[in-house]
Copies of this chain bind each other. A is one copy, B any other.
Amino acid sequence: MGHVRRNYGQYCGLAAALDVIGERWTLLIIRELLLGPRRYGELLEALPGIGTNLLAERLKVLHELGVITRPQSRDQGYALTELGHELREPVLSMARWGLNFLDAPTPDVETRAHWGFLAVQAMIDPERATEIDESYEFRVDDVVFHITVTHGKPVALEGPADGEPAVVASTDARTFVEIGAKRLTPFEALASGRLQLTGDTDAIVRSSVLLGLMAPVE
């Protein structure tokens, strides 16, 4: 008489998805794992308020359902399976929608630099990656990541850019997400000293267009 997980009981793709990742905290766990493998303690730290039992329970279920793998050895971490990685698009598109609701951050809301990496991925509009081959590097607090555009195909990766990036943007996590939420323009952030940019003006424009922060120039 094991326990039956609460489920919607509808023969429908959305209901089936929500039966798996619809419970509280689950998608935020996926978000963390989309940024790379994470240890139990790292997840706890990245998800303030989750409660250790709940995290353990979620990880167990996600593993049983084939969405994540358990740490193979000490000092490894939980990681997404191929099935789990297929949540990238759903998660990014939800995150993009959620930016509509980000208001001014109050002191009691958490802001983490690596969420900026997610924000960037959500903001990239591949349609706007014109025929360019260059990379843009972002330094948000102590986290570094970059976008590499190859033959018009943009890819976001952790770590510094290979070779010489066309643009380097340095800022703090809060400013970064505020720009993503369009509460702040890059120009305003530059003017107030909260953002530093290096690189030639044309490349800065191209990167801003790619991220939907600027209308394409004819």
Contact = CB atoms under 8 A, between A and B. Distances in A.
Interface of A is mostly: helix
A119 interface: yes
A197 interface: no
A101 interface: yes
B90 A20 contact: no
A24 interface: yes
Contacts of A177: 11-13
A31 interface: yes
A14 B26 CA distance: 12
A174 B98 contact: no
A12 to B, nearest CB: 4
A191 interface: no
Nearest to A123: B13
Nearest to A181: B13
Given A12-B95, A14-B118, A28-B15, A20 B105 contact: no
Top 7 A-B residue pairs of the complex, sorted by shortest distance between their CB atoms? A17-B98, A13-B95, A16-B98, A13-B98, A14-B95, A11-B111, A90-B93
